[in-house]
Amino acid sequence: MSDARAPDAEWYGAAPEVIRELRGADAEAVIAKLDAAAATYPYATTYSAWPGPNSNTFVAHLAREIPEMRLALPAHAVGKDYLSPGRLVARSPSGTGAQLSLNGLLGVIVGGDEGFELNVLGLVVGVDPLRPALKVPGFGALP
């Protein structure tokens, strides 16, 4: 292990959040697909904190490859909007909508789990009508 911190330790003062929980057969089905999905990640040897590709890009890639995850990443997860090389349009990470993105710098997501998100330079503003919230840059979803 290269870091003595617990895997769920605070990150720059922010407490970890559970954004999706799967159990039993649902979890087993997703776990069975993780290795294959990770093997298709196009940025395995590249990392850029902003606008991506970064760890959020990787998690969003896994979610797109395994729709059963139904994972909507938080609005403040910079890098989640960075798509595979040459792609402008993709399924939203949750699989409940669609996404348009220009290298993670400018884009939009419309989805059942994401609501509406406008991404400008990696910052997201939007609205979630199903779980009433306003998405504000730097803060995420505010009820």
- Tell me the pLDDT tens digit for each residue of 52-105: 999 999 999 999 999 999 999 999 899 999 999 999 999 999 999 999 999 999
Would 78 be classed as within a structural domain?
Answer: yes
Q: SS3 sequence, 97-110?
A: EEEEEECCCEEEEE
CA–CA separation, 35 and 126 (whole Å): 33
Residue 63 lies in a domain: yes
- Mean pLDDT taken over the chain: 93
E-assigned strand segments in the chain: 89-91, 97-102, 106-111, 115-120, 123-128, 133-136, 140-142
Q: Which helix (H) or strand (E) holds 132?
A: none
* Domains held by the chain: number: 1
In a domain, 121, yes or no: yes
Q: Is residue 14 part of a domain?
A: no
The backbone torsions φ and ψ at residue 14, rounded to the nearest 5 degrees and listed phi first, read -95, 130
Residue 135 lies in a domain: yes
Range of the domain at 54: 24-142
In a domain, 73, yes or no: yes
- 13 pLDDT above the threshold of 60: yes
Please give the share of the chain, as a percent, with pLDDT higher than 70.
98
- Inside any domain, residue 86: yes
Q: Is the pLDDT of residue 1 over 60?
A: no
Name the band, by pLDDT with cuts 50, 70 and 90, for residue 6: confident
Q: Which residue has the tokens 């789990």?
A: 113
**Dihedral sign computed on CA atoms, order 57, 50, 105, 117:** positive
Cα–Cα distance measured from residue 88 to residue 68, given in angstroms and rounded to the nearest whole number = 23
Would you say residue 17 lies in a domain?
no
